Amino acid sequence: MASPDDIEAAILRAVAAAGAGKTVGPMDIAQTLHADEDWQSMLPAVRRAAVTLARAGTIAIYRKGKPVDPNDFKGIYRLGLPPRD
């Protein structure tokens, strides 16, 4: 199992590689970290790491193309760079 630091680093790499205006799915991160059939087991840890990074302002969590509150979101989400004001 990957450490929280490894998961955060994987998220940051993926979001940076996607670039501004693009997002990545949490399953992409999980599959990168746990390439076998059991990548789904990584999804809760990816979500926790994404929330931590979003609270810090390092990334943004998106639903339906719009940034959401990292403390209060449900359902399918994607990760990306924070929107520019």
pLDDT digit string, tens, across residues 51-77: 999 999 999 999 999 999 999 999 999
Instruction: State the Cα–Cα distance between residues 46 and 16, nearest whole angstrom.
Output: 16
pLDDT one-digit tens code per residue, 5-60: 999 999 999 999 999 899 999 999 999 998 787 899 999 999 999 999 999 999 99
Instruction: State the Cα–Cα distance between residues 13 and 73, nearest whole angstrom.
Output: 23
Ordered structural domains, the chain, with CATH: 4-80 (1.10.10.10)
Q: Rounded to whole angstroms, what are the CA distances from 75 to 7, 26, 67?
A: 20, 12, 13
